[in-house]
């Protein structure tokens, strides 16, 4: 496996032909008319559903170590690595972000890459999972 997206709330990366086909199929199956406003609302509803699904499947008892950088108005700053649970790490990496992406680079990695964009720049984190033995990342 190469890079795999675990979750994103980035509308631009989700607004594609596959999503539009999914929306049209949903409308047709439910006797609804297609509209651009309804399509936008549909995508955001899908994002909310996927976020809730993503969060509900996080093994919160897993130990995580977070490293990374903060992209701020005055430059990029490295964070002090910290240890917490995986659930806490996900929450802290998303804090105050407008768009977020959780990705795995490849099968050999024992970390999740998080890109969290906000009004001042982009934070980039790695959530390391030193003890993880499950299949949640698959």
Strand, helix or coil for residue 107: coil
| R_g of the chain computed on alpha carbons | 17
Q: Which two tokens stand for residue 118?
A: 């906000």
Specify the pLDDT at position 2: 63
Specify the pLDDT at position 138: 45
pLDDT truncated to tens, each residue of the chain (138 aa)? 467 888 888 877 777 788 889 899 999 999 999 898 899 899 889 899 999 998 898 887 889 999 999 999 999 999 999 999 999 999 999 988 999 999 987 666 678 999 999 999 999 999 998 776 555 554
Q: Which two tokens stand for residue 100?
A: 């977020």
Q: Compute, in degrees rounded to 10, the torsion defined by CA atoms 51, 2, 66, 80.
A: -130
Specify the pLDDT at position 18: 85
Specify the pLDDT at position 133: 58
Query: Which residues have CB under 8 Å from 13's CB, separation 6+?
Result: 101
Q: Which two tokens stand for residue 96?
A: 């105050």
Specify the pLDDT at position 4: 80
CA atoms 87, 81, 104, 41: torsion sign: positive
User: Among all chains, which residue has been given the structure tokens 């897993």?
Assistant: 62
Q: How far apart are CA 134 and CA 18, in angstroms?
A: 30
Specify the pLDDT at position 117: 94
Confirm if 33 and 122 have CB atoms less than 8 A apart. no
């Amino acid at each position: 496996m190469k890079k795999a997206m675990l979750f994103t709330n980035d509308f631009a990366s989700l607004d594609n032909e596959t999503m539009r086909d999914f929306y049209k199929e949903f409308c047709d199956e439910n006797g609804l008319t297609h509209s651009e406003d309804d399509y936008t609302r549909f995508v955001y509803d899908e994002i909310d559903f996927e976020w809730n699904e993503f969060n509900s499947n996080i093994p919160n008892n897993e130990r995580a170590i977070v490293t990374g950088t903060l992209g701020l108005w005055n430059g990029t700053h490295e964070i002090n690595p910290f240890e917490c649970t995986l659930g806490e790490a996900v929450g802290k990496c998303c804090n105050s972000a407008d768009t977020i992406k959780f990705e795995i680079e490849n099968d050999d990695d024992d970390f999740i890459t998080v890109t969290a964009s906000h009004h001042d720049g982009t934070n980039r984190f790695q959530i390391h999972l030193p003890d993880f033995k499950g299949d949640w990342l698959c």
